[in-house]
Amino acid sequence: MPILLVHVSATEAIAAVRAARLLGSKVYAESCPQYLFLTAEDLDLDGLEGSKFCCSPPPRDARAQEAVWQGFADGTLGLYSSDHAPYRFDASGKLPKGDATTFKEMANGVPGIELRLPLMFSEGLLKGHISAEQFVRLTATNHARMYGLAHCKGDIAPGLDADLVLWDPELRRTVRWTDLHDNVGYTPYEGREITGWPVTVLCRGEVVVDHGELHARAGQGRYIARRCPQPLADGAAQPAPSGAARWLGLKGKAWSPTA
């Protein structure tokens, strides 16, 4: 029976998944931004500042980060998720006892849903850790297949929903929580420089976000019944580029499907 392991972050765990897959086991694995861009050093801050980076499993070290990148590159890790945990940095969320909160009492998890794709686009795709095809698989196609939505999501193809993101691959942004759209109160990626940013988002062919402005209508969402999961696209293989990957290769602008 297939199994999905989430939040894989340790060098040894990635090696074990790789070995199992080479032996033919139906083992799939996922990882998250915090295991590419945070380390244990981020936890070692004065007072309660380190709690902003507290999640499970914890961020590790540069060696583990490199192992996660390699796992994405060779297909050992087939899914890239946010693990978004939007606990506010106050007594209503992260710090239930305020300044007296101990490690055992603080809420575990970090926010990351809005920066999930920009971080991977900037540091993964543009810096050569992964290809355009892999970016599409890790952020859209494989999620649709794993969660039973491939009949309508995850690629650019006739008959599928036109859920698209238009990227400016040259736009530079400095991450500031004040520019994000959550109510958490902080981001663990504050101050990070990112190259490449989504500028327009389409949902089923309709523009819902354009240059930071929300155009979605109340009730525009639609329930989709899941179907059976499908095998994930092999991250290590190099098939002919999908429609999504071909769009990503356009000079000056880049498209990707959303799942």
Instruction: Specify the pairing of strand 27-31 against strand 3-5.
Output: parallel
Per-residue confidence of the chain (259 residues) as pLDDT tens digits? 889 999 999 999 999 999 999 999 999 999 999 999 999 999 999 999 999 999 999 999 999 999 999 999 999 999 999 999 999 999 999 999 999 999 999 999 999 999 999 999 999 999 999 999 999 999 999 999 999 999 999 999 999 999 999 999 999 999 999 999 999 999 999 999 999 999 999 999 999 999 999 999 999 999 999 999 998 887 654 434 444 554 455 444 444 565 5
pLDDT of residue 252: 42
Residues 6+ apart with CB under 8 A from 88: 94, 183, 184, 185
Q: How far is CA 23 from the centre of its chain?
A: 28
Residue 215: count of CB within 10 angstroms of its CB: 13
Could you tell me which of 104, 244, 241 has the C-alpha nearest to residue 167? 244
Dig out the tokens for 13 from the structure. 């765990």
- The model's pTM is 0.88
DSSP for 77-130, written as a single string? S-EE---B----SSTTTT-TTGGG--TTTSPP-B--TTTHHHHHIIIIITTTSS
| Phi-psi region at 148: left, alpha or beta (left = phi > 0; alpha = psi -120 to 50) | left
Q: What is the largest CA-CA distance in the chain?
A: 56
List domains and CATH numbers for the chain: 3-248 (3.20.20.140)
Could you tell me which of 25, 31, 38 has the C-alpha nearest to residue 70? 31
Alpha-carbon torsion (202, 207, 213, 215), positive or negative: negative
**What is residue 217's DSSP assignment?**
-
